[in-house]
Structure 1
Amino acid sequence: MSGAQRSLFFLGLPDLKNLVCVTLTLFDEEPRSKQIKTCRELVLLYSDILASPALESFTDITVVMAIPFFQKGVLQAFGQRRGLQLGSPRGVFPGDLQCCLSYSLISRLSPSWNKAGLYLVSGKDFLSERGTQSAVSMELSTTEGQLCISINTHTVRLSPTTLEDFNLPPLVLRRFCSDPDSVLDPSSTGGTVWCHVLPSMKKGQIITISRQLPRDGPFRTYTDLQNHWNSLYGYRLPELPEAELVYCSVYFRLLGETLFTYPLSCIRLQPAQCCPRGDLQGALDSFLSDVRDRVQSVCGFPARLTRKPCYHTTSLNSAASAQVQSREQVNLTLPPPSGPSSPSSLLHLPDQ
């Protein structure tokens, strides 16, 4: 069930000594979008590369690969074609590998599994789904030459927003639908209208609703917007006739006075709701199948995900073992220390 014990799976990783890390730096007027697009393109183009947008910069991309792959000059040629600056190669830290693994895996899983806040939601048409949907939440950690993937399965409801949800008068809605140049102020019915925008589910304020893209914006057509969302996040925006296209201008307090335009299909008035029912085992099996299909190697080194899940188990502690644990807490994501095991919480690792 949703919220139940997490399933842990393990993936062997190559020795960091066999890998190299390089930073790509881009120069663009809209660095954040270009950074994500370039990083995603790199990950989807080369299966032997792992990459991630740098956490502390809107212009840098962290790339991890095997040393022989770097020596082939593939990354250098990619950077030259895109006008990117390549930093000097350096050793790989565990944090580099973990960040690049996480971003690369999520990118390669879409559109089968799509990021929506803390969830990965199943199905390329999830934006239009009005019923419940399968989803997973996933945490990655690297230690001792292996990747631990902690997975929890959920059934969620992430229903698309409609114009009727704004509680506008019927006459106003009819006028809006009949006039392509009409603009709505959703707060006119009283109070600020808050929303959550995909994929981050960040909270913002809807300022206006219109049927046209802003004339001073970067997109001229809905097709341009579809391509943009696909290249950024792997989202497949629904195919809609022109008469049904609706856009929202959203204000984010922490980002200044700039308004950001979103298609209505990527706006939610409520956060994702967890539901108690659903085929959670089926969702887990489907997700693992997709992960295995997309992670058959790590930087060109063969990799195999464990077949059976592992679980944290807790048993009653004796007074003696409690005293031992009080001095040194056991990290359950690490292998237990050598020697006789105490009846404390252990992580049981099944055969692969």
Structure 2
Amino acid sequence: MHERNAELLYFADVPALHELCLVVVSVPTDCKLGSGKQPHIIRCRELIFTEQDILATPSLGHGHSVQIVMPQSLYKTGRLQSRFQKMGLQAEKPRRVTPAIFQSCYRYTLLAKLAPGWNKVGDYLVQGRDFVTTNEKMNAICLDVTVTEKEVCLAVQAHIIRSSPIQLADLGVCRPVWDAFTRDVHGKIAEYSICNTWCHILPSMKKGKIVNLVRQIPEDSPFKTYKDMKRYWKNTYGYRLPDTDEGMIYYQVYFKPIGNTLFTYPLSVVFIS
């Protein structure tokens, strides 16, 4: 359920775009972070939170790269280029900044810095660092960013939404199978025992199909421990997962466009369709 209010518009001046430059940096595929952990997103967020004079966004459709907008004066110092080298990043020559590029980098940087106070959930930003574990009503906003040569426009609409953690009834697993699963620390429930297998995964709410429910992180997962998984979700999306893995259930999910690879997610980021 959700309630919504009227949209509000906020305007601000844009820095002189001709005084800025765009630098695209590539993250090598052999990065020690591991390709399965989206290293370009982690590196992008690392730069956003440690370099106050830049705007940045992970590139879409261009491999593991990051687009960075910075003042030309900063680029000319060479300081960031030296840092890129130390981080193992390969920087291209600077380019002109367009309103579309500024908009993309501004929006991603803004959302990164709003978390965990406001967290991306599909088209919403939901308030509260513990939103993944609550079933109470929550404040949320829809935020649209538009940039022209002269100004930034933020369109904000307030909402009240509610989302609940997955319950046994949502999955359609029969009680004896579920009871046996919860008693066994190495328990597993296969797809044929799950009636409702379609789900959505935070933060994009992309649709996938549940193949297995497991009590332990699978050996072939890029995450070896819950602590490792918890750190990844914080560094990549700003999400704060529950502090401990006590009673945690993991979902192995299949996404048709990607192929046969199974991805493992903790209970708190999975929503049933």
Instruction: Give runs of aligned pairs for residues 45-124 of structure 1, distance below 5 A.
Output: 45-124=50-129
CA 1:189–1:82 in 2, change beyond 3 Å: closer, same or farther?
closer
What residue ranges of structure 1 are gaps of 5+ in the alignment?
A: 271-352
Match of 1:247 in 2: 250
Choose 141-150 or 160-169, whichever is displaced more. 160-169
**Does residue 16 of the first structure (1) align with residue 20 of the second (2)?**
no
SS of 2:257's partner is: helix
Aligned equivalent of 2:130: 125
Is contact 1:128-1:160 (8 Å) kept?
yes
When residues 157 and 101 of structure 1 are mapped into structure 2, their CA distance, relative to the original with a 3 A threshold, is same
CA distance in 2 between partners of 1:221 and 1:72 (Å): 41
Deviation at 1:4, TM superposition (A): 4.0
Structure 2 alignment gaps of length 5 or more = none
Are 1:37 and 2:42 matched, yes or no? yes
Shift of residue 127, structure 1, vs aligned partner: 0.2
TM-fit CA distance, 1:241? 4.4
The count of corresponding residues between Structure 1 and Structure 2 is: 268
Structure 1's 247 and 241: CA in aligned 2 closer, same or farther, altered over 3 A? closer
CA displacement at 1:229 relative to structure 2: 0.5
- Structure 2 Cα separation of the partners of residues 259 and 68 of structure 1: 46
Equivalent position to 1:196, from 185, 200, 203: 200
Contact 2:125 2:140 in 1 (8 A): yes
Shift of 1:245: 1.4
One-letter code of the match for 1:23? V
Distance in 2 (alpha carbons) for counterparts of 1:219 and 1:74: 34
Q: In angstroms, what is the RMSD of aligned CA positions?
A: 1.7
Identify which range, 175-184 or 118-127, moves more after superposition: 175-184
TM value normalised by structure 1: 0.73
Question: 1:137 is matched by which residue type in structure 2?
Answer: C
Preserved CA contact (<8 Å) 1:181 1:210: yes
2:232 to 218, 228, 231: 228
Q: Which has the larger radius of gyration?
A: 1
Alignment partner for residue 164 of structure 2, among 159, 184, 196? Answer: 159
Distance (whole Å) between structure 2 residues aligned to residue 12 and residue 212 of structure 1? 51
- Map 1:283-294 → 2, pairs under 5 A: none
From the superposition, tell whether residues 61 and 241 of structure 1 become closer, same or farther in structure 2 (CA, over 3 Å): closer
Query: Aligned partners of 2:5, 2:202: CA distance in 1, in Å?
Result: 26
* TM-score between both structures, scaled by the size of structure 2: 0.93
